A and B are shown apart, each in its own frame.
Chain A
Amino acid sequence: MSQLIELRDLWIATHQRDLVKGIDVDIFPEQVTALCGPSGSGKSLTARAMMSVLDVAPGLRGGHLRYPTIDSKKDWFADVVGKGMSGQMRLLKQTRHLRGHFITYSPQSASSALNPGRTIGRQMELAIARRPNPPTSLSKEIVRILGQVGLDRASVAALPGELSGGMCQRAALAIAIAPNPDLVIADEPETGLDPVLRRAVIELLVSVVRQNGAGLVLISHHEDTVDRIADAVVRLKPQVMEAK
C-alpha cells in the first residue's frame, strides 16, 4: 500500500501569529483520515496545504510535503518555505495538474459551491475531462457516477437551484469522484443537514471512495461521526496568540 501524502511539521503563520504548527499527516489509499478540531484551529488550512494551495502571507514557515505515488523523493515545500507569497504562487502553478485529478476537493456548503448557471451534467463533464483517458461514452459515465451517489438520470439536466440540500451534497460528491482521483478531501460535508441525512451523506462518501480505491480526508467537528468511520484522526488545537 503506497502512501499518498506525507506531510511533516507543517507550520503556517501570518505576520501576527501562527495558524498551524507542528502538524504531521499521512494519507493512505482506502483509508479515512479525519481532521478534527474547533473552529479556527486550521483544519481547512491544513487540508489546503495538502493540496499545495497556500495563500496566507508570509505563509509557509516550515514543513515538508511529499506525494510518494507521484514522485517518491521530491519535497514540494523545499523551495517554498520562507519565500512568502511568490513561492506559494510558484508551487500553485507546479502542482496545478495534480488538483482535480490526483486530489479532488468537495467544498463546504455544496449548494453555494456548485455553479448555479450550469447543469449538474455539464459540471460533471468538466470534471470527467480531467481524466488522462476520457471514457468512450461520456453520458453513460455521468449516469453511472450519479447512480453511485444515489442520484437518478433526471438530475443530469437539473440546475443546482432545483435540487434539495441533500441532493446538492450528493452532486458535489459526484463531481469530486468523477475524475477518478486517488484522494478526496471533503470539507465538512455534513454542515446544515439534519442528523439522518448527515449520516446518509457520510456513509455514502466513505463507501463510494472505498469502492474507487481512493483515500479520503474528512474535515469534521462532529466527534461521533469521526469516531465511527475514521481509520486515523488528526486533532488540531487552536494556536494561541503570541505577541511579536
Chain B
Amino acid sequence: MIVDVKNLVKTFEQRGIFPWSPIRQVKAVQGVDVQVAPGEIVALVGQSGSGKTTVSRMILGLEEPTSGEIWLNGQRWDGLSEAQRRPLRSKFQYVPQDSMSALNPQQTALEHITETYKVLGEQSASEAKQSAKNLLVSLGLSERLHALPREMSGGEQRRVTLARVLALNPKLIVADEPTSGLDPERRDSVLEALFGNLPKGAGCILVTHDMAEAKQWCNRIYVMLAGRAIEILDLEKDVPQHPYAKLLFDPWGAPLPEKELSKVGCPFHSNCPIVLHSKCAQTLPTLQSLSDSHSISCHALYTTSNNTEPESVSPHAGETP
C-alpha cells in the first residue's frame, strides 16, 4: 500500500472576533479510511465543504490530523517531525489548484524543471537541462520551453506544475482539483498529461468535483459527505447506490436537497428519499461492504441488499458521538 489511512479525524478550532468569544469546534473530517495501492488512481469526490481537500492535505502532512494513523509506503507518517519528513517529501507530491501562483513569474518552463532536477542532485547541469527538455516535450510543451508563466495558457501552466511533480519520480501524487477553472477540452489534456506520464507503480489521489473526470480516470472513488466517506465504489463494476452519491453523479435525476445536513444520525436523512425508519435519524450508519470493490454507509440499503449480517469494514467510522 502506498497510502493507508486509518480513522483520520480533523477538528478545526474557529475563534470568534473577540478574545472572549467562544471557540467553535468545526469537525472537518470525522473518521476516514483511505487506501491507495501501487498504480492505482483514487478519486475523492464530494460537494464543497465535504472534507476532501482536508483529507488530501493531511495525507501529505500539510495539515496535522487530530487523530488517526497515516502510513505512507509502509512507514508511519503522522507524528514525524519536519526534519524526519524532509528526506521523504520528494516522493509524496502535491499538485496545487492555482498554478499561476505556484510558478515563479520570472522563470521559463524549462528553468522551472531544470531546477527541479538540479535540486534532486543526481545529474550534472547539462544533463538536468536535457532531462527537463525531454519531460516537457513528452507533456506536449515542446513549443513553450522558453515561455514565462504569464505567456502560457491556463492548461499549459498546469502542465508545467505537473512536469515539476513528475520530474521527482514520486510514489504518490495528490492532485487537488488540477483542472478547476479550465475549459472542458483543456481539462482532458491536463489529465492525460498527468495520468499518461505517471511513474510506474505510483499511486495518485485526485480531488475533484467533476464526476466525469472521476469516472473516466479513477480505479476507485470515495464519495465524501460531511467529513466521512459514505460510499466507496469502482465505477467499472458498481453503480452508485447511496442517494447522496446518486445525486452527485446525476444532479438532474432527483429533486434537490432542501434541508441542511443533520448532525445526528445519517447526515443526509432529512433529504433522503428512502429513509427507512427512526434508525436513520438516530444512529450513524457504518460503512459496510456490498462486494469487494463496493462499500456503502446507509441503513436502508444494506438491509434490503444484504440479508445476512453485513461485515463491518471500518469499526471506527460508525460510532455515534
Task: Report which A residues bind B (CB closer than 8 A).
Answer: 38-39, 164-166, 191-200, 203, 221, 224, 228
Contact A194 B183 (CB under 8 A): no
Contacts A199-B251, A199-B256; A192 near B47 (Cβ below 8 A)? no
Give complex CA distance A192, B182 in Å.
9
Contact B256 A195 (CB under 8 A): no
Q: Which residues of A contact B47 (CB under 8 A)?
A: 194, 196-197
Bound CA–CA A228/B250 (angstroms): 13
User: Smallest CB–CB gap between B209 and chain A, Å?
Assistant: 4
Q: Is the CB of A196 within 8 A of B252?
A: no
Judged by DSSP, the binding face of A is: helix
- Smallest CB gap from A165: residue in B: B48
Partner of A194, one of B181, B185, B209, B256: B209
Do the beta carbons of B209 and A38 come within 8 Å of each other?
Answer: no
Q: A39–B186 contact, CB under 8 A?
A: yes
Interface residues of B in 164-180 (CB under 8 A from A): 180
Nearest 4 interchain pairs by C-beta: A39-B183, A194-B209, A199-B251, A195-B251
* Chain A residues, Cβ within 8 Å of B249: 195
Q: How far is the CA of A31 from the CA of B252 in the complex (A)?
A: 20
Knowing A164-B48, A191-B181, say if A196 contacts B248 (CB, 8 Å).
yes
- B148 sits at the interface (CB 8 A): no
Give the complex CA separation of A164 and B252 in angstroms: 23
Q: Quick one: given A164-B48, A165-B48, A224-B252, are A196 and B183 in contact (CB under 8 Å)?
A: no
Docked Cα-Cα span, A193 to B248, in Å, equals 12
Cβ-based interface call for B140 (8 A):
no
Is residue B264 within 8 Å, beta carbon to beta carbon, of the partner chain? no
Q: B185: which A residues are within 8 A, CB to CB?
A: 38-39
Q: CB within 8 A of B209: which of A166, A195, A224?
A: A195
In the complex, residue of chain A having the shortest beta-carbon distance to the beta carbon of B177: A192
Closest B residue to A224 by beta carbon equals B252
B184 at the binding interface (Cβ < 8 Å): yes
Closest to B210 in A: A195
A-B contact pairs, 21 of them (CB 8 A): A38-B184, A39-B185, A164-B48, A191-B181, A192-B180, A192-B181, A193-B48, A194-B46, A194-B48, A195-B210, A195-B211, A196-B47, A196-B247, A196-B248, A197-B48, A198-B251, A199-B251, A199-B252, A199-B256, A221-B184, A228-B252
B176 to chain A, nearest CB (A): 14
Judge whether B201 is part of the interface by a CB distance below 8 angstroms: no
**Which of A39, A191, A196 is within 8 Å of B251, CB to CB?**
A196
Pick the most buried of B184, B210, B249: most chain A CB atoms within 10 A of its CB: B184
Closest Cβ–Cβ distance, residue B281 to chain A (whole Å): 22
In Å, the complex CA distance between A201 and B181 comes to: 17
Chain B positions 230-249 with a Cβ under 8 Å from a chain A Cβ? 247-249
B251 partner residues in chain A, CB cutoff 8 A: 195-196, 198-199
Bound complex: CA A203 to CA B210 (Å): 19
Most A C-beta atoms less than 10 A away, residue of B46, B209, B247, B252:
B252
Contacts of A164 in B (CB 8 A): 48
Q: What is the minimal beta-carbon distance from B254 to any residue of chain A, in angstroms?
A: 10
State in angstroms the CA–CA spacing of A192 and B177 once bound together.
Answer: 10
Tell me the bound Cα distance from A61 to B181 in angstroms. Answer: 32
Q: Does B79 contact A (CB under 8 A)?
A: no
The one of A38, A198, A203 that contacts B183, using a Cβ cutoff of 8 Å: A38
- Which residue of chain B is the closest to A109 with respect to CB atoms? B181
CA gap between A166 and B46 in the complex, in Å: 15
Indicate which residue in A166, A200, A221 contacts B256 across the interface (CB closer than 8 Å). A200
